[in-house]
Amino acid sequence: MTNEELQQLVMKISANIFNKPFMHEAYFNNRLKTTGGRYMLRTHHIQINPTSFELYGLEELEGIIRHELCHYHLHIEGKGYKHRDKDFKELLKMTNSPRFCANLVSTKRTTRRISHVYGCMSCGLLYRRKIRLNTSKYRCGKCSGPLMKVE
């Protein structure tokens, strides 16, 4: 889907569901990582995460657009447009808009990068550390022997 097609879709949803015109720009923003979309207060533009469309399809995209249009129309009218506002929650229900988008961030934990390995010169115990340590300041916790950088 191109930005022009997205613009037309947002204008169509705004006219059909909200019965109000969308007079600003809607476009994809590849830099959005954790959210499905974003309404910009100063410019009134709507940015959409293209990953949400690629992963979950048109139905999820339309839900995100409806959610962002709730922010848009309430802000233009001077009503409560924030997630915690009563006006916003009521408009979400009226338009059948989702409160949250589908999860975009993987829940897989990243492994810790270990770049420094130290060994005890007496007992041979290894210490793996992300941050470099001063071997003249620290000793082995097991036998109090001196430490030496292994890798």
Residues 80 and 29 grouped into a single domain: yes
Helix (H) or strand (E) holding 148: strand 147-149
What is the pTM (predicted TM-score) of this model? 0.69
Q: Which pLDDT score is estimated for 111? A: 65
Q: What CA–CA distances, in Å, run from 122 to 116, 135, 140, 145, 146?
A: 19, 14, 9, 5, 7
Q: Which pLDDT score is estimated for 109? A: 58
Q: Domain containing 25 — which CATH number?
A: 3.30.2010.10
Residues 61 and 123 grouped into a single domain: no
Mean pLDDT, all residues of the chain: 90
Q: Give me the domain span that covers residue 42.
A: 3-95
pLDDT for residue 66 is more than 80? yes
> Do the Cβ atoms of 44 and 37 come closer than 8 Å?
no
pLDDT for residue 59 is more than 70? yes
42 band by pLDDT with thresholds 50, 70 and 90: very high
Which two structure tokens, joined as six digits, stand for 140? 């082995």
Q: Which pLDDT score is estimated for 108? A: 56
The number of domains in the chain is 2
For 85-120, what is each residue's pLDDT tens digit? 999 999 999 999 988 887 776 555 566 677 899 999
pLDDT for residue 6 is more than 70? yes
Residues 120 and 75 grouped into a single domain: no
Give the catalytic positions in this structure.
68
- Range in 22-26, 61-65, 108-112, 128-132 the model is least confident about: 108-112
Which two structure tokens, joined as six digits, stand for 59? 């139905």
Q: Which pLDDT score is estimated for 18? A: 93
Residues 18 and 72 grouped into a single domain: yes
Instruction: Say how far residue 137 (Cα) sits from the centre of its chain.
Output: 42
Residues 11 and 67 grouped into a single domain: yes
pLDDT for residue 72 is more than 90? yes
The answer to whether residue 102 sits within a structural domain is no
